[in-house]
Amino acid sequence: MASAWCGALWDKLNRKKTLEKDLLQTPLHRCLSTQHLALIGIGQMVGAGVFVLTGTVIKDKAGPGAILSYLFAGIAALLSSLCYAEFGARVPKAGSAYVYTYITIGEFWAFLVGWNIILEYIVGAAAIARALSGSIDALANNTMSSALEEHLSLPGQFLSQYPDFLSFAFVMSVAVIVALGAKLSANITSVFTVINVTVIVSVAILGFIYADPTTWDSGFLPYGFQGVLGGAASCFFAFIGFDGISIAGEEAESPGRSIPVATISAMIVTTVLYIFVTTSVSFLVPYYDISASAPFPAAFAARGIHWAKYVVGAATVVAIFTALLGNMYMLPRTIYAIASDGLLFRIFAKVNDRTQTPVIANFVFSLVAALMALLLDMETLVDFLSIGTLMAYTMVAASVILLRYQPISECQFELHPDPTDSATDSAGNMAATENGSSSESKPLHHSYSHDDFGKLKKLFRALPVLRHCSPGTAVATSTIIMAAFMAALCSLALYATESILRAEWWTIVLLVILILGTVFSFLVIVAHVQNTAFKTFQIPLVPLLPATSMFINIAMMLKLTYLTWIRLAIWIAVGLVVYFAYGIRNSAENRSLASYNALTSYGGDGQQAPVLRGDDDDDDGDGGAEEGGDGDKWKKSQEEKPEFE
């Protein structure tokens, strides 16, 4: 009895999201071009990183080495963004990492990712609002902060020195704008994104004009290389906006092409801008004199350029306001996606008939963000934000690996025709000959059939243990083990650095074991047949790139303070209560396993898998069901489904 109950619970925790017949169908208007998506990504990233984090990272964590922090964070974020781009092109839905995890790993893990995404946007809104308030206060010679700190100071280590009523007002005001409609929010964001980029370039040029190279005399890495890594973990906040592209992808005209191009373009432009402007401000004043809350206005004022202080300060306010608007624009959409699946209270999925926005979700979670902006200090918010984001990025990278090695019976996406199917191959070659060129449905040329996906390659099929694993199982297990070895390896490298440098025997032995374990787990994944037949964008060098992304993200997470982990644990504990008390029983996937298995079962070469294989004419399988049953209906629905753009 107990084992049956545990088995049923396990099945519920790991059930996967069933995708709609047509992934391009949406009640939203598909009107966004590649340029629109790129501007959305840049608009969310630019401003938030430079005007919120630069001062904190330079002064307290890395010194001028913050330049390297932004570079490392940009590279790591680029790897993560490529994983998002692959999924976004394949599943152009607003849920972003939550949906991707739901499809490949399971419901419970998807909920945890979605819960952390909510945290990402809530804390992001609070941190940006604090920076906006700080910039305005700097323009007023800190009059507001001085008065509030004198009369309404707050006790406690993690609280702000004073309640920031202005940041509270900003969050709630932007919530009203977002509630009035997507078109109004999008128009404002598009206009101010161009202003943001102009501000960044202008600030950097002005800084180089008044540069003083002697500011680096105290050293480029005053906090050492570990300070650079710690700064890089915090600098991830600057790149959070790229996942907004995948959320906005549900309104893209051609998501299969637009999302990858827009994501890569936005990442490159943003990284270059961040490095450029960070170098500039580090030349204005020594790192220990930089203001943590408003680095640019204060730096120009310290050099006696008072007119520049007000110009830059006003421009900073505009840029940060744009970042706040973009952040809060994505917050209710993410909550709506999770609530629509039944994992959050369905009241948050309600859309106002007049404004066509999830008004209830918008105001409830905006109020939470406003209260955090009112009471918490900047450093607490920044570290809290980084760990949730890094966890989501790690899960998406792992999901790419799992998706590429899924067996054909679990794949729900359009694929190129099976190259080992002679009938399809002949038809494809005939079409190519008649047209004089290869059609989009031309088979891929490799030596493995679709049925081999997730299985061992021919060279390794005699390996013990692995040869007995079902397709995809060994890869999933190896991915988990690899992540565990990576975490242990990063912990050893970060917290036993001196022992490693002294070549103490126990650290060397442990280091070798952890490296070999990581490499072995990776090689087990490589030994299996990968699915490269997807018709949408695919990142290169899988599993190397997503595995590298996992390693970098895990290292950055472990660099954060233990108090940050405690705060995250508290947030996850709240989420677990929500999931087990509500989500697990109200999930849209809460159907009988018998019905679900009948829909997704796959019996071999002669039966239809729940996947578009591009060879409808020659597949006469019955899907494991009698004619007119669930399997036949599934096949017919897939035959009628249009190709991805």
Mean pLDDT of successive 10-residue segments in the chain (645 residues)? Answer: 79 85 68 82 75 80 90 87 89 83 89 87 86 80 76 70 86 90 77 81 85 84 84 78 82 85 92 90 86 77 77 76 85 88 89 82 92 78 69 89 90 79 50 43 58 89 87 93 95 88 90 96 94 88 93 84 81 92 89 42 42 40 37 39 37
DSSP state of 51: I
Q: What is the pLDDT of residue 365?
A: 92
Q: Ramachandran region of residue 430, left (φ > 0), alpha (ψ -120 to 50) or beta?
A: alpha
Smallest CA-to-CA distance from 139 within 23, 341, 291 is with 291
User: 47: number of CA atoms within 13 Å, CB side?
Assistant: 39
The vertex-319 CA angle with 313 and 323, nearest 5°, equals: 140
Q: What is the pLDDT of residue 240?
A: 74
Smallest CA-to-CA distance from 300 within 316, 319, 284 is with 284
Instruction: Using the CB atoms, write b or e for 280-298: b if 16+ within 10 Å.
Output: bbbbbbbbeebbbbbbbbb
Q: Tokens in use for 266?
A: 């936005």
Integer CA distances (angstroms), 535 to 90, 169, 531, 532, in order? 8, 47, 11, 9
Q: What is the pLDDT of residue 612?
A: 41
First CA to last CA distance, the chain: 49
Q: Tokens in use for 310?
A: 């007000």
The SS3 assignment for 585 reads helix
Instruction: Please report, as a single letter, which amino acid is at residue 362.
Output: N
Smallest CA-to-CA distance from 96 within 346, 396, 477, 475 is with 396
Q: In this structure, what are the phi and psi dihedrals at residue 492, rounded to the nearest 5 degrees? A: -65, -45
Helix, strand, coil fractions of the chain, as percent rounded to 5: 70, 0, 30
234, 12 in Cβ contact below 8 A? no
Q: What is the pLDDT of residue 644?
A: 34
Taking the C-alpha atoms of residue 250 and residue 108, their distance in angstroms, rounded to an integer, is 24
Q: What is the pLDDT of residue 614?
A: 40
Q: What is the pLDDT of residue 474?
A: 93
Smallest CA-to-CA distance from 608 within 473, 446, 452, 411 is with 411
82, 545 in Cβ contact below 8 A? yes
Residues 6+ apart with CB under 8 A from 52: 127, 128, 130, 131, 237, 238, 320, 323, 378, 382
463, 438 in Cβ contact below 8 A? no
Q: Is the pTM of this model over 0.95?
A: no
